Amino acid sequence: MYKVAIIGASGFTGAELLRLCAGHPNFEVAIATGETQAGSAVATLYPSLAAHYPDLTYSPVDLSAVDGCDIVFLGLPHGASQALVPELLSRVSHVVDLAADFRLRDATLYPTWYGQDHEVPALLDEAVYGLPELFRGGLLGARLVAVAGCYPTAASLALAPFLRAGAIETAGIVVDAASGVSGAGRSPKTSTTFCAVDEDYTAYGLAGHRHTPEIEQSVATLPDGSTVSGVSILFTPHLAPMNRGILANCYARSGAGYLDTDSALAILAECYANEPFVVVNERSPSTKTTLGSNAAHLTARVDPRTGLLVTICAIDNLVKGASGQAVQCANAVLGLDETTGLSAIGIYP
């Protein structure tokens, strides 16, 4: 049994980590921190977790408390992990960070896209990007994993097979994606109240969302670590009136060789043939089919009139887009079967 600490366990991704760890046969949650909820019972904030955590209480962050733990999950806001990770790495064997603090390899991108310099840029080279279907190679035994973002996960799974196959042009790629409201976090915001979101559909982060460089980096990186040059992506996220889910519609122009729908589906199917959490089918993916699961559902079409490829991916933003992927990465780090404690079966209706 591996002892687990979750730092930042009171947010939605933290609660999802607690839920998934409760069903994991090899994980025991020893510590769950939540600065704003310190002293409160987990079961009070999230009654859905009461059956498994009747006595667990949120504690304030105390890094010495993780001594003796095997792995630490960080579910903190972007920018907060950098101050903690160096000391955590001296106390535990493995750190899995769900924020963006260690996802970008180029430290100079952080001031532009996240508004601040990176505090520990030397660790960027050590961090392994946590998207196992595309970057499994470096995960076994990794000390630091930077779990892929929710939008980047959906976009990368949809686009990377075609970049790797040389089937699409590298410039002018468009990612048009929508997320459920839980992606904005648990803290109340005027833009995410029921009255603001209900019966509305809104684009945000126009021509400058911070996930853009992560998506470009992810889809341009090959399994051996080399990169495809000239990849440029226009990413536009949308807020949809639903609790959970991401649907990413990705558009690209066919490369030199003619790409049709059959060959596009074949590229996806070949890339993910042995992936237990990826479903490739002619069906148009739906966020509802992935609800509560670690699955990604994919399809593709090529419009013969315009020559454009559309490749679509649906995921649950809190599972495959965050906490489920973190558990999948942790399994890979520890040498466990990646499916341990996770399901590819969605909840319906």
Nearest to 319 by CA among 336, 342, 298: 342
- Say how many C-beta atoms besides its own lie within 10 A of residue 236's C-beta: 16
Catalytically annotated residue among 21, 69, 150, 329: 150
CA atoms within 13 A on the CB side of 130: 36
Neighbour-count burial of 94, counting CB atoms closer than 10 A to its CB (0-12 exposed, 13-18 middle, 19+ buried) = buried
Q: What is the amino acid identity at position 348?
A: Y
Question: For the chain, what is the radius of gyration of the CA atoms?
Answer: 19
Tell me how far CA of residue 236 lies from CA of 208, 210, 248, in angstroms: 8, 11, 10
Neighbour-count burial of 39, counting CB atoms closer than 10 A to its CB (0-12 exposed, 13-18 middle, 19+ buried) = exposed
**Alpha-carbon 320 to chain mean position:** 6
**Alpha-carbon 338 to chain mean position:** 15
Do 142 and 128 form a contact (C-beta atoms < 8 A)?
yes
The rounded distance, in Å, linking the Cα atoms of 341 and 334 is 13
> Is the bond preceding residue 349 a cis peptide, omega within 30 degrees?
yes
Catalytic residue list contains 150:
yes
The rounded distance, in Å, linking the Cα atoms of 107 and 125 is 10
The rounded distance, in Å, linking the Cα atoms of 296 and 284 is 12
- Catalytic site positions: 150
